[in-house]
Amino acid sequence: MSTPPSAAAEYVGREQTGAAGRGPISVTWSLTGPARDLDANVVRLAPDAYISEHTETVLGVLVTVLAGSGEVRTPDATFALEPGVLAWLPAGTTRSVHAGPEGLTYTTAHRRRPPMSIGSSRPSGEGEAACLLDRVCPECGRLATERDARFCARCGTPLAER
């Protein structure tokens, strides 16, 4: 006997994956719901927009290009992005994403992010601001690792003004 799924299947049509988005970086769709075991997004970069260099230290990310063109840059290589291309970026990969002149639309998928916890891996003596709320994305909850980040590296939402 099989166990019924704890969440309903979801279908995402071209009206969502092809949406223009709001601003230079936008998430036009996200997988939601507490029963999910996967985080997935459709990300749209406007023409010539980019996501600054960042490192995802916890999770690997699979990127699938839906439309447009661009490139993903790592310290070791630059990879062309075009429809049908897949890129696997293991945890610890430093990268930036740059859209071409017609923009870039892609999906991201990775294991569901573990909940944030209180604690620090910083050695004593290295300081960080007492409150990091201005670096927490109001949309998806990701903490920006870059002190000068203006947009969330996961979903593209603008971060609080400093």
**Tokens 């970086």 — which residue?**
25
Phi, psi (rounded to 5 degrees) for 112: -60, 135
109, 102 Cβ separation under 8 angstroms: no
Q: Tens-of-pLDDT digits for all 162 residues of the chain?
A: 555 556 678 888 887 777 777 788 888 888 888 778 888 999 999 999 999 999 988 889 999 999 999 999 999 999 999 999 999 999 999 999 999 999 999 999 988 876 555 554 444 444 444 456 667 777 766 777 777 777 777 777 777 765
Q: What's the first-to-final CA gap in the chain, in angstroms?
A: 55
Query: pTM for the full model?
Result: 0.67
